[in-house]
Amino acid sequence: MKKLNIGLIGYGFMGRAHSNAYLKVSRFFDLEYQPVLKAVCARSADKVKAFADNWGWESVETDWRKLVERDDIDAIDIGSPNNTHRDIVLAAAKAGKMILCEKPLAMNAAEGLEMTEAVEKAGVPNMVWFNYRRVPAITLAKQFMDEGRLGRVFHYRAKYLQDWTISPDLPQGGAALWRLDADVAGSGVTGDLLAHSIDTAIWLIGGVDKVCAMTETFIKERALQDDPGTVKSVTIDDACAFLARFKNGALATFESTRYARGRKNQNTFEVNGEFGSLYFDLEDAHQLQYFDHRNDSQSRGWRTILVTDSDHPYMGHWWVPGCVIGYEHTFINALADFLGGLASGVPVRPNFRDALETQYVCDAVLDSAKTETWKTVGA
């Protein structure tokens, strides 16, 4: 086995999800490359040390620049907020490191383009953690699309709904709540949630041509988490809905909010094609709903496929049929694909170029909402 020394930046939500993936991947997948938890970096020395001890990271850094400069690091993994991605990527690419970057790729498409060109110029392996592609049921949907089971696609309908920002007492900014500050996040639900929906849509259906969007910020002012006496305008989009036309002529609707009471992380899509339809809901992540109009008319109907058999995507690496896997496994599956790509020489997707395409759609959506007009993606 070849060792691959990882330097992780950030010990929050994604820091934990990625650490878990590095620990597990070689135990469940037969791989030529084995990740080594070499160093983790975050700004607080005490906290990062405690994190390293808990997860088995060999060393710590408090400045990502030092991590990027270390000769004993092969790959930089970015699990820090969106406004840090650009500078880290540019420095890591210059230092010749492989890069695994969290989504959204960047604060906006201009940054994303600069980052994509940097990794391509440096020729370093790169991946963006759009982990939902690695939900076995979504990968199965992709297989069905590629096999032509749905025929010509007419409609795509995506929703990404949460409910955790409804209270006006929730502050903004700082740990975890940086998502409510556009200077750190780039945007609200558009970059945070819809970026996932858009990545999945592009993967399943193809490129997006035009969009027409509306956004809303329901709570206009919030106190700062790190300075509770100061109240500031909320700069992110709390909710976003948009219409889209794909380049192949299919029509789509996308909706996202953090104000859908009772919806915790409902990420759904439905595809309607000439021969059939598909439906997926992350809150029932082990199932794919499939309708095939070519079945005989007496028995025709929606069927629920329990995506746990060993010949379903990724499931041969996990448990026996009927035993479901969870959220954390999507990161392990993604990492296995990244490492597999290094060994096979067939680079993993989604790479930076793929994530840039999603970023162009996000930019067009935000621009459309602002100007109240249709926008051509990337124009």
Q: Is residue 103 a contact point for ligand NAD (CB under 6 A)?
A: yes
Between CA 25 and CA 163, with CA 355 as vertex, the angle to 5 degrees is 80
Q: Which x/- pattern, by CB under 6 A, does the window 193-232 give for ligand NAD? A: ----------------------------------------
Stretch that binds ligand NAD, among 6-14, 156-164, 236-244, 364-372 (CB under 6 A): 6-14
Q: Which of 6, 7, 8, 10 binds ligand NAD (CB under 6 A)?
A: 10
Cβ closest to ligand NAD, residue 1 vs residue 175: 175
Stretch that binds ligand NAD, among 5-13, 19-27, 112-120, 317-325 (CB under 6 A): 5-13
Q: Which of 4, 7, 11, 31 binds ligand NAD (CB under 6 A)?
A: 11
CB 149 within 8 A of CB 292: yes
Nearest approach, Cβ of residue 27 and ligand NAD (Å): 22
Residues with Cβ < 8 Å from 169, sequence gap 6 or more? none
Q: Is residue 42 a contact point for ligand NAD (CB under 6 A)?
A: yes
| Cβ neighbours of 219 (radius 10 Å) | 16
Cβ closest to ligand NAD, residue 201 vs residue 250: 201
Which residues are paired to 217 by β-bridges?
Answer: none
Cβ closest to ligand NAD, residue 134 vs residue 375: 134
Q: Is residue 12 a contact point for ligand NAD (CB under 6 A)?
A: yes
Cβ closest to ligand NAD, residue 292 vs residue 328: 328
Stretch that binds ligand NAD, among 41-49, 215-223, 236-244, 350-358 (CB under 6 A): 41-49
| Cβ neighbours of 186 (radius 10 Å) | 27
Residues with Cβ < 8 Å from 238, sequence gap 6 or more? 165, 188, 189, 215, 216, 217, 218, 219, 257, 258, 259
Pure H helices in 147-288:
182-185, 189, 195-205
List the one residue out of 127, 373, 92, 151 whose CA is nearest residue 277: 151
Cβ closest to ligand NAD, residue 14 vs residue 109: 14
CB 40 within 8 A of CB 351: no
Q: Which of 6, 31, 41, 180 binds ligand NAD (CB under 6 A)?
A: 41
Q: Which of 25, 33, 82, 352 binds ligand NAD (CB under 6 A)?
A: 82
Nearest approach, Cβ of residue 302 and ligand NAD (Å): 28
Query: CA–CA distance from 89 to each of 75, 76, 148, 355 (Å)?
Result: 11, 9, 37, 14
Q: Which of 19, 38, 68, 80 binds ligand NAD (CB under 6 A)?
A: 80
Q: Is residue 102 a contact point for ligand NAD (CB under 6 A)?
A: yes
Cβ closest to ligand NAD, residue 192 vs residue 337: 192
List the one residue out of 285, 252, 244, 247 whose CA is nearest residue 271: 252
Rounded Cα gap, residues 108 and 224, in angstroms: 24
Nearest approach, Cβ of residue 276 and ligand NAD (Å): 29
Q: Is residue 129 a contact point for ligand NAD (CB under 6 A)?
A: yes
Q: Is residue 176 a contact point for ligand NAD (CB under 6 A)?
A: yes
Cα 188 → chain centroid: 14
Residues with Cβ < 8 Å from 98, sequence gap 6 or more? 4, 74, 75, 76, 124, 125, 126, 342
| Contacting residues toward ligand NAD, per CB under 6 A | 9-15, 41-43, 64, 79-82, 84, 102-103, 129, 131, 175-176, 192
